[in-house]
Amino acid sequence: MALREDIKHAVRMELKNPKFAFLVMLTLALGIGANTAIFSVVNAVLLSALPYRDPDRLVILLEHDRKSGDKPVAYANFLDWRRMTQTFDDLACYRARNSVIVAKTGADRVSGKWVSAGFFRTLGVDFRLGREFTTEEDTVGGPPVVVIGDDAWRRYFGAETNVLGRTLNIEGVSRTVVGVLPADFRFEGDAQVFLPIHALAYQEPRFNHDALYVVGRLNSGVTLEKAASEMNVIARQLEEQYPKENAGETISVITLDKRLAANSGEVSLLLLWAVGLVLLLACVNVAGLFLARLSERRREFAVRA
């Protein structure tokens, strides 16, 4: 009964001063809303499972030397890794680009990636529509094709299911859409157009570490340590064959979730701290409002006395 009376009294008091109640609710709503929004981002980036088949089998491979530490991979070395490895079910390479010009109704700049044939198969992605590139399409001078993300599909084609076979002008080249990715697909950023790696007319010099990265899918039952051991045996074999280009190089093998967390985790944690500060300030502001209200009530009680 006492609690019910306290609640009734509190409601009556707030109805007498709706401006105060509104300020308190607005302050708390802003603080809680900001926290909810940033938690959604942090949850998607750091906490939720990656949207791939058996994501615990996915790793990133990097070249490593004493001078530079971990670094991108030479394309020729990637080809040899893929040919020589026994511990990986699949290896694929990719290169990111922050801005790709897409012309549909105008000229948009969107994030893109160049990827090798088999990239999406390696990740274990089920396409919403269509397929990924074939080996024939991923060759210098191959047919101009593109895989697009869910956002690009909705933005440029109105989410029409007959998008396959239609074209999109990318960097001045009319490219045929062969696949649409699912809405939950994400991989190192928000890329919306994916082109065959050979659209860059890749050459194969071993000294060219041109921002190329390698993703691999471990064979079932293979540990990270076993894969790293095998890859470094391969690195020594390649060093013997190419002593000038591959001298002193080893291969780093890290899990994909660790790589993605390293790329975006610091920013997400900084945002989390910032929003925590916002919530703290909201609580301080609400406390200030109540103290001001208490001061007014004290004066009211003094007058009545």
- Going from N- to C-terminal start, the domains of the chain cover 1-49+261-303, 97-210
Identify which of 106, 111, 152 has the alpha carbon closest to the alpha carbon of residue 129. Answer: 152
Compute the half-sphere exposure of residue 225: CA atoms within 13 Å on the CB side of its CA: 0
- Would you call 57 exposed, middle or buried from its count of C-beta atoms within 10 A (0-12, 13-18, 19+)? buried
**Quick one: pLDDT at residue 164?**
97
Q: What is the pLDDT of residue 139?
A: 87
Phi/psi for 243 (5° steps) reads -65, -30
Interior/surface letters 200-227, b for 16+ CB within 10 angstroms, e for the rest:
eebeeebebbeebbbbbbbeeebeeeeb
- 119 burial (CB, 10 Å; 0-12 / 13-18 / 19+) is buried
Give the helix/strand (H/E) hosting 6: helix 2-16
pLDDT at residue number 20: 67
Q: What integer pLDDT is reported at residue 32 of this predicted model?
A: 76
**How much is the pLDDT for 5?**
66
Q: What is the pLDDT of residue 51?
A: 78
Q: What pLDDT, on a 0 to 100 scale, did the predictor assign at position 148?
A: 96
Note the pLDDT of residue 105: 61
Average pLDDT over residues 150-163: 94
Q: How far apart are the first and last CA of the chain?
A: 29
What is the C-alpha to C-alpha distance for residues 213 and 217, in angstroms, rounded to an integer? Answer: 14
Judge whether residue 86 has pLDDT over 80: yes
pLDDT tens, residue by residue, 91-140: 999 998 776 777 766 678 888 999 999 999 999 999 999 999 999 999 88
Separation CA 31–CA 139 (nearest Å): 52
Number of other CB atoms surrounding residue 52 within 10 Å: 20
Q: Is it the case that residue 172 has pLDDT exceeding 70?
A: yes
How confident is the model at residue 15, as a pLDDT?
A: 66
| pLDDT tens digits, one per residue of 176-201 | 999 999 998 988 878 899 999 986 65
